[in-house]
Amino acid sequence: MKNKFITMALASLAFTACTNDDAISLDKELQTNNQNKVVLMAEDDAQQAFAKILSKAVYNDISVREFIKSEAIKQFDNDYDILYAFAKDKEVAPGYTFRDALLNYCKDENELISIEQSLPLLNILVPDLTFISSFKADNWDLSDEEVPVSYDKDHNSGVLFVNGDSITYLEPNEIPDFPILVVKNNERMIASATTRADGTTSYSYEFFDDAFNGSLRNNTRAEYDVTYPEEPTGDSQISEYELASINPAIKQAFIEFPNNTTGKHRDYVYYGMTNANQTNGHLNTNVREILYKFRIAPSQIPFIADQTEDPVLQAISKKGGEYTQEEVRSKIWKEGNFEFLFDVMIGTKSSNVLYNRLAYSATPRELFSINKVHVVRKHSTAFSHSKYTYTVTNVNEAVTSKWIKTNASTNGNYIQIGSWDIYEQSLRVNIALLEKDDSETIVKTHSVSNEFAGNATFSFGADTIVKATLGISGKTTSTTSKSVTITKNSDDLGSLSFYYYDPIIKSRTVQGNMPLYDLYSVNNGAFEVIVLPQNIL
| DSSP character string of 475-486 | -EEEEEEEEEEE
Phi, psi at 218, each rounded to 5°:
-55, 115
Give the separation between CA 498 and CA 503, rounded to whole angstroms.
Answer: 10
Reduce the DSSP state of residue 174 to 3 states and report it: strand
Quick: pLDDT tens for 212-244: 888 776 555 678 889 998 888 999 999 999 999
- Cα→Cα distances 8→19, 70, 132, 176, 537, Å: 22, 29, 10, 10, 82
Integer Cα distance of 477 and 197 in angstroms: 104
Least confident of 3-7, 200-204, 241-245, 261-265: 3-7
20 band by pLDDT with thresholds 50, 70 and 90: very low
* pLDDT for the residue 156: 55
Q: Which comes out higher in pLDDT, residue 490 or 381?
A: 490
Q: Which residues pair with 337 in a beta bridge?
A: none
SS3 state at 380: coil
Q: Supply the pLDDT for residue 128.
A: 83
Lowest model confidence (mean pLDDT) among 113-117, 214-218, 307-311, 514-518:
214-218
**Cα distance between residue 466 and residue 460, in whole Å:** 6
410-433 per-position pLDDT tens digit: 677 898 998 898 888 899 999 999
Tell me: pLDDT of 297 over 90.
yes
Most confident of 7-11, 65-69, 164-168, 446-450: 65-69
Q: pLDDT tens, 491-530?
A: 788 899 999 999 999 999 998 889 999 999 999 999 999 9
Give the residue from 255, 250, 254, 264 showing the smallest Cα distance to 467.
264
Output DSSP code: residue 79: S
20 vs 250: CA distance, rounded Å: 76
How far apart are alpha carbons 297 and 81 in whole angstroms? Answer: 55
Residues 381 and 344 sit within 8 Å (Cβ to Cβ):
no
pLDDT above 60 for 102? yes
- Please list the residues that pair with 292 across neighbouring strands: none
- The pLDDT score that the predictor gives to residue 289 is 95
Burial of residue 222 (CB within 10 Å: 0-12, 13-18, 19+) is exposed
CB 389: neighbour CB atoms within 10 A? 16
Condensed to tens digits (0 to 9), the pLDDT of residues 429-463 reads 999 998 876 655 556 676 777 777 765 566 766 67
Please list, in sequence order, all residues whose beta carbon lies within 8 angstroms of the beta carbon of residue 82, skipping any fewer than 6 positions away: 68, 71, 72, 76, 123, 124, 125, 126
138: pLDDT confidence band, cut at 50, 70 and 90?
confident
* Listed range (75-84, 449-458, 482-491) with the worst mean pLDDT: 482-491
How far apart, in whole angstroms, are the C-alpha atoms of residue 321 and residue 326?
A: 15
Phi, psi of 418, deg, nearest 5: 130, 175
206 contact partners, CB below 8 Å, separation of at least 6? 23, 24, 25, 189, 190, 192
Amino acid 36 reads: N
161 to 89, 260, 297, 405: CA distances (angstroms):
24, 94, 68, 70
Per-residue pLDDT at 189 exceeds 70: yes
Identify the pLDDT of residue 270: 94
Beta bridge partners of 458: 467
Given a cut of 80, whether residue 187 has pLDDT beyond it is yes
Q: Can you give the length of the chain in residues?
A: 537
The answer for residues whose C-beta is within 8 angstroms of residue 102's C-beta and 6 or more apart is 53, 54, 57, 88, 112
Q: What is the pLDDT of residue 123?
A: 96
Determine which of 12-26, 183-197, 217-231, 260-274 has the lowest per-residue pLDDT on average. Answer: 12-26
Q: Is the pLDDT of residue 268 over 90?
A: yes
Q: What is the mean pLDDT of the chain?
A: 82
> What pLDDT is recorded for position 35?
43
Q: Is the pLDDT of residue 534 over 50?
A: yes
- The pLDDT of 336-341, averaged and rounded, is 90
pLDDT at 106 over 50: yes
User: Residue 424's pLDDT is what?
Assistant: 86
Distance between CA 295 and CA 339 in Å, rounded? Answer: 13
How many C-alpha atoms does 508 have within 13 Å on its Cβ side?
14
- What is the rounded CA–CA span in Å between residue 505 and residue 44? 92
pLDDT of residue 167: 73
Judged against a pLDDT cut of 50, whether residue 62 lies above it is answered with yes
At residue 333, the pLDDT reads 93
Q: What is the pLDDT of residue 141?
A: 87
CA distance 457 to 280: 9
Instruction: Determine the straight-line distance between the first and last CA of the chain, rounded to whole angstroms.
Output: 77
Q: Which residue did the predictor score with more confidence, 42 or 456? A: 42
Of 125, 124, 155, 148, which is closest to residue 44 (Cα–Cα)? 155
- The pLDDT of residue 457 is 67
> How far apart are the C-alpha atoms of 61 and 377, rounded to whole Å?
37
Q: Which of 92-101, 190-199, 255-264 has the highest mean pLDDT?
A: 92-101
Q: Are strands 181-185 and 149-151 parallel, antiparallel or unpaired?
A: parallel
Phi-psi region of 169 (alpha: psi -120 to 50; beta: other; left: phi over 0): beta
CA-to-CA separations, 363 to 81, 93, 312, in angstroms, rounded:
49, 46, 11
